Amino acid sequence: MSTSLKPFNTFGIQATASRIVIAETVQQLKDAWSETVAEKMPVLILGEGSNVLFLEDYSGTAIINRIAGIQVTEEDDAWHLHVGAGENWHQLVEYTLQHGMPGLENLALIPGCAGSSPIQNIGAYGVELKNICHYVDCVDLISGEMHRLDNSQCQFGYRDSIFKHEYQNHYAIIAIGLRLPKLWQPVLTYGDLARLDATNVTPQEVFDAVCLMRTTKLPDPRINGNAGSFFKNPVITARQAAELLSSFAAIPHYPQPDGSVKLAAGWLIDQCKLKGHKLGGAAVHKQQALVLINEDGASSQNVVDLAHYVRQCVGEKFNVWLEPEVRFIGTHGEVSAVETIA
């Protein structure tokens, strides 16, 4: 019997799985994984499905990680939070502010669960998870052993981590540990946050500004299905950046510590005049070009075709080739998003 995955992906794509299991404990997660492997079926672990695109029906078991719980310990200089992987991320941000523990406010309204946050090394408005992540707890589903990876072991990169590589296939994140310093320093480098006064701004004011920016510029998945930023902001060499700037002086660019330069994918797409562009039921969002939306009963193929078109337009204009941030899931599991839209 097939089960609909539509409630478990924020794109709202109609797809099915052979079986769906809601796991509220580590044991339930391990049992569901073991049973599926014993049946020689593929298995996929999901949080809230906020960063996936189902390309077709999934032929295995989708395990929905709903392991809950927030534990707080306090030291002289910081708060330490141990957070179950199934906790909603934005509700966690609200919880920390309500309890006087700032540090997550720039990451407000990022969709998904706490357990998904290390996989992508989520980030927004100048803050990334790696800035505040102390450790990640995961379970080796083959041996049943628990592993705690500290910050350096997670190998965080730009929208990247070890959980996309060596720890992708048979490890499940069950909790994350966050360290929030008591000496709070606002990060006001991006967007409308730059207008705030760093000398007297409060964490709540930063939170409110971030929420306002996201709600006014980004679509509500409950109205138009989407997976947030569809493409990564491209990182190019300093030489390539210099060549681009000679032709496009206004291009937003952000030098990185290693000498590379990060560009704003949304700006590149916008320069191709693609806001509002539609293919089938999929469209480029009219306010934020970085977001592709399910505007009218889009199929996954509509989204793939639109992503391909956007990538080609940007590539031909700037010689910069965008890569999806969203994970693409085929019938047996994750496939290369770049190859799919190339």
> Which residues are marked as active site?
159, 229, 325
Query: What sign has the CA pseudo-torsion 101, 120, 114, 168?
Result: negative
Q: Which two tokens stand for residue 224?
A: 């138009």
Question: What is each CA distance from 325 to 164, 166, 190, 304, 308, in whole angstroms?
Answer: 12, 19, 20, 13, 14
- What CA–CA distance (Å, rounded) separates 146 from 29? 13
Helix (H) or strand (E) holding 215: helix 203-217
Place of tokens 């078991």: 61
Which residue is it, tokens 């206004």? 250
For residue 3 the two structure tokens come to 């089960």
- Residues 6+ positions from 279 with CB-CB distance below 8 Å: 302, 305, 306, 309
Nearest-angstrom CA–CA distance, 307 and 321: 11
Q: At 282, which amino acid appears?
A: A
φ/ψ of 18, rounded to 5, equals -65, -35
Give the C-alpha separation, 201 to 186, whole Å. Answer: 8
- Amino acid letter for position 108: A
Candidates 3, 113, 112; CA nearest to 61 is: 3
Name the 3-class secondary structure at 124. strand
Residue 201: partners with Cβ closer than 8 Å, 6 or more residues away: 186, 188
